[in-house]
Structure 1
């Protein structure tokens, strides 16, 4: 037990240059406390004590500002940095040595029962304020940028950014072969629609100007007859 505790603390110190001692991490880090409380709550849930499990979970949420459902499955070495506002849903799964920053949500979509939260591989980093919604998989060593909203799967060793998130790097290289044009991006689609509408209006205005500038042949003939 103490060896596992030490390993958890050491994994945090490796990723946080601000950590000065194991005692500091153990006694002051809200993310570490939240994960410890989660492991107690998860054990209670697995051993048939759902009410006590939720009680431990809610008590931890009030103390740390981090909500982890007892039903989530979390590997070793999870580091929740700063932590305030982090939410991890009931069917979420997190691999080993992942890092989550403040405001991260591993959430579900809809009210269907069963698997409805994301699965993170090993060594995944999720930036502050990012939202990963739905039962998709985030590959090992993936990086999710701050503020991203992830609605689709992210492959191993990839970096995803934006709203909705799209992959911009795999193994540090831009994936030029990926279809970036047809990515479901409502903001880009609306801008394209407005741009096309403006182009159509410009063409209509140009045609009208051309028609107005063109001399009226019938009127010219009438004027010629009058002078004659």
Structure 2
């Protein structure tokens, strides 16, 4: 399974919605600043790009020389229609400073020096150490996950339903024809998670591991082909 650090790093560098919580900013007036881009530096610091006149930039600039704490909150929502769409949340907290000269004119880069982080997702809730976050890499399928899940959901639902037969006789009986729908809810280099849905209040997740971790979309196609073949046999 992907480690907590890898899952958090993937969320930080994904397109999931995120907001920066900065002490002193009035949410009623300015709202919570939403960075236009997010990247991670070699030391594990998170770089956030904002318009140069944004409240977050003004606060960080005026606080130069003082310790300004901030929290980056990320919410991960499944890119397919499924009950309970929020797949997880992550928080990265640390110290915020402005970094002039990196962004284009009219923009400013803020650096969130990593202090601590946590993730609460489909795998569970865990804390992340700075060294683990620094050394982790985002999942190689993250850039394509939304498109891949949407394609599987729209074009391969019947094949997804057959995966229920891999879960054992007791579970397979609950997956009789015309009962639950099968929605692919998450995908990473290690496997595919499918949500079998009878109703909004009656569903369960099943995780299908690939024979070996995949490195790219080509490897994913082979892994899915193997998985569907096993379910059909």
Which range, TM-score by smaller chain?
A: under 0.3
TM-score, with structure 1 as normaliser: 0.24
TM-score, with structure 2 as normaliser: 0.23
Bigger CA radius of gyration: 1
Which fold has the larger relative contact order, with Cα–Cα distance below 8 Å and residues 6 or more apart in sequence? 2
Structure with more of its chain in strand, by fraction: 2
